[in-house]
Amino acid sequence: MNYWFISAGSFLLICLLIHMIAGDKNYRMLNPKKNDQDNNKTFGFWLMGRGTFQMVSVDLLLTSVCIFLMGINVIPYNFHLALFISLLYAGYLLFWLLTLYVSKAKPTNYIEQGQWVIFLISFILIILGL
């Protein structure tokens, strides 16, 4: 049993549920068709963003299940797979913070857009389990 992996997998599964329920609800509120029936280009960008938003659901699901199953020894421990998943979250962390920086986000935006904290916690838990 690898309690670090079990913790990381459980944490990510909880994040997935929050992402799918609360996040999708918030994203649906941004639907430009509610406000502007004539702007198909804006709606197209919104659809692309929503599709990308749901791709994150797949990442969270697959990585959380994989790490959790490695933690309870259903999947044999694989250093390279666990390292890959940890580096995936390190990349998410880096690019999220970089996006905030390049977008000239204010300090309060770093708190409001706190998904980077999820990526940091996930990265640390998985690294500790290696």
Number of domains in the chain: 1
pLDDT of residue 99: 95
Q: Which domain holds residue 80?
A: 3-129
Q: pTM of the entire structure? A: 0.87
Q: What is the DSSP string of 55-121?
A: HHHHHHHHHHHHHHHHHTTSSPP-HHHHHHHHHHHHHHHHHHHHHHHHTT--HHHHHHTTHHHHHHH
pLDDT of residue 34: 64
pLDDT in tens, the chain (130 residues): 999 999 999 999 999 999 888 888 888 888 887 666 667 778 888 888 888 888 989 999 999 999 999 999 999 999 999 999 999 999 999 999 999 999 999 999 999 998 999 999 999 999 999 9
